[in-house]
Amino acid sequence: MLVPLGWTWGIISLIAIAAFSAYSSWLLAGFHFVNGQRFIRYRDLMGSLFGREMFYLTWISQIMILLLTNMGFILLGGKALKEINAEFGGSPLRLQYFIIITGAAYFIFSILVPTISSMGKWLIISTVLTFTYIVILLALVIKDGLKSNRVIDYGVRGTNASKMFNAFCAISAMVTCNAAGIIPEIQSTLRMPAVKNMRKALFLQFTVGLAFYYGVSIAGYWSYGSAVSEYLPEELSGPRWAKVLINSVVFTQSIISQHAFIAPVHEALDTKFLNLNKGIHSRENIKCLISLRALLFTLNTLVAAALPFMGDFVNLLGSFLLIPLTFLFPSMIYIKVKRETTKINQVWHWAIIFLFTILTVVTTVAAVRLIINNVAKYYLFADT
């Protein structure tokens, strides 16, 4: 996120995207109840206020983002396993083998934990794993930075045109990493009062959580400069046990994290194809459940294995679909619901809509350009 922007614009962009993401999420959380009606799905909220077209636009946008995000997680898990294998001096297996193992692990977890509401203790485990990863990674990255004897290059590389397009791709990546597009779906799992509890969670996310999250990105850029890998654990100098532990945590955490993002897709498929009058693990439903999960993860794993630059597509969907879900729609809802609000509030939200509409167009063009360049650079099933 920092490499295409450099220190000054990188830090400014990180802060600006985080601030707007926090504000828009806080705003959206307040519309859990509208005119006494509770909304537990984003698409239902948009459909109720703006009609069936917006219902389907919101739902399709969410589905595409969640599927692409899941593929990105599969690629991440595969890279973590490949790094572990390399540390033990194992045979140089292709990345695709590790991607298949990751997809199988995700499939098994989706059977054992079929819904987002059943994650419970897994969220506690996820928190422990996250901070374990962050603390160890920060310690090793800072150690490498302090011990580095070379001159670290922080320059932004490329022609003026490529710098501009890459900068907007970095902003798109920031949006993707700061937003999920499923705030109402997550909020529906919280105990009452849901609005107050969701905003407490958002406050923690955009203060304590973001400090650690951004800390890793900033420390990585400081230690390795413009040559830093997109997958930071690849840069670590050791010790071996720490690198193995970090990649093991990445793999395990990716299993839990991806489930939170793909759960709405599971829920939609289960609602459509399972017998809702019987238990989810009943004999009739379990066969259908396994078939649905197997088909989904087979397709996602195949695409992730075929396209090793899947992150570019995640950024594309982040710019084209996630920016509207995160920034545009909450302001549209505010204008629709708060019709009696002051004129200055109306102007403020129209300004947000205008600004992020332009950003959607620009970042989408930049993301498409990056994909075209990488299509020419990579081949299907490349071992990156």
Q: Output the six-digit token pair for 174.
A: 């920031």
Q: Which residues have a Cβ under 8 Å from the Cβ of 298 and sit 6 or more positions away?
A: 103
Per-residue pLDDT tens for 325-342? 889 999 999 988 887 777
Per-residue pLDDT tens for 310-320? 667 767 777 77
Whether 328 maps to a domain, the answer reads no
**Higher per-residue confidence, 285 vs 308:** 285
Whether 343 maps to a domain, the answer reads no
Quick one: average pLDDT of 344-359?
91
Q: Output the six-digit token pair for 20.
A: 């707007």
Full domain range(s) for residue 12: 7-306
pLDDT-based confidence at 107, cuts 50/70/90? very high
Residue spans of alpha helices (H) in the chain = 6-29, 42-50, 52-87, 95-112, 121-147, 160-178, 183-187, 194-204, 210-224, 240-273, 283-306, 310-317, 323, 329-337, 343-377
Whether 381 maps to a domain, the answer reads no
Q: Is the pLDDT of residue 382 over 70?
A: no
Q: Is the pLDDT of residue 151 over 70?
A: yes
Q: In whole numbers, what is the pLDDT of the chain averaged over residues?
A: 85
Whether 104 maps to a domain, the answer reads yes
- Alpha-carbon gap, residue 87 to 18, rounded angstroms: 35
How many domains does the structure of the chain reveal? 1
Whether 337 maps to a domain, the answer reads no
Which of the listed ranges 93-97, 180-184, 210-214, 295-299 does the model predict with the highest average pLDDT? 295-299
Whether 324 maps to a domain, the answer reads no
- Alpha-carbon gap, residue 343 to 291, rounded angstroms: 53
At residue 173, the pLDDT reads 83
Picking from 175, 176, 177, 195, the residue whose alpha carbon sits closest to that of residue 187 is: 195
Whether 378 maps to a domain, the answer reads no
Picking from 306, 345, 351, 307, the residue whose alpha carbon sits closest to that of residue 328 is: 351
At residue 100, the pLDDT reads 93
pLDDT-based confidence at 199, cuts 50/70/90? very high
Q: How many CB atoms lie within 10 A of CB 157?
A: 12
